[in-house]
Structure 1
Amino acid sequence: MIEKIREKMDQLEKLAGLMERKEQVIDEKLRQINERQDTLDKMLSRIESELLAPATEQHPQDVFVAAEIAEVNPFNPHKGIVYIITNKNEDGRKLDSILVSCRILDKDGNAITKSKVVIEGISLETNKTIRKPFSINENDDHNLFENAESIEVELLKVKWE
């Protein structure tokens, strides 16, 4: 009987040692994840502050931006966003890139999602309009726009060539 108790005690000590090592591994992994998250948070904060920095001299009528929810890829059944961008600058400057904020709304006017999008490499001349499609890939194959009814867009920043 005492021998069985000793065997059980030995097994419990081995299990305790294994548990302690697993806890150490988990703690190290959590520390690494937290460090990565801190780095990502700092990068996002820096990028956002750069994007939201005061824009070069512009007037609201210089650029017109609208958006619609539409099919953007014939090979993907999910809808996306098509941005309609018009350069209305009278000084003849080419539009290089813009930062927009958008809210996708359901039929009741509730926000499904909000985001900020940088649209780069536009190279749009005065009095010209382009359509820039954006698709959103969902990991779970869920259609983000399934219940979307409309989209609101706000121009935040303009960069000229």
Structure 2
Amino acid sequence: AILYPVYYLLYTNLSGELSGLDESTYDTTSIATHVLLAFHMLLINVLLVNLLIAMFNQSFQDVQSIQTDIWNYQQYAVVREYYDRPPLFLPFSTIFDIIALIKMFYHWYLRVRYNYANPLQRVFKVIAVQPELELVWQEFESASTYAYAQREALTKIDR
């Protein structure tokens, strides 16, 4: 009889409800009630822990999906930034700038003189394999731009 209140205090405060269980100690329904109540409390606790794990798992999945989108966008930004840069550092990069200027004038001359379009012109554009992915990218870019504009507006107001 001393073990029951301590065991049930692990789960909740049942001070008034447990007194009726110990009145008839030789009754089989009293023992069955204790066993069923203990089994019920254990089962409910297991279910609640599983529910908590499922909720954390869903939150983690949401954060992981958003994080993957942000990482892909930042990787694209880094690749885009270094796409147009010359391969050498500043003193030697002027050589590549001069070569690019000569190519630009040469293609301009071909276009004006012979109405020739350059098929080998360097273009950096990511084309989505799936058309709906392009829409997702546009929505993400517009949401990011909107969030950035809101932050900038708030910092100007705070100043």
Same fold (TM over 0.5): no
Q: Which structure carries more relative contact order (alpha carbon 8 Å, separation 6+)? A: 1
Higher strand share: 1
Superposition TM-score tier, normalisation by shorter sequence: 0.3 to 0.5
Select the structure that is richer in helix.
2
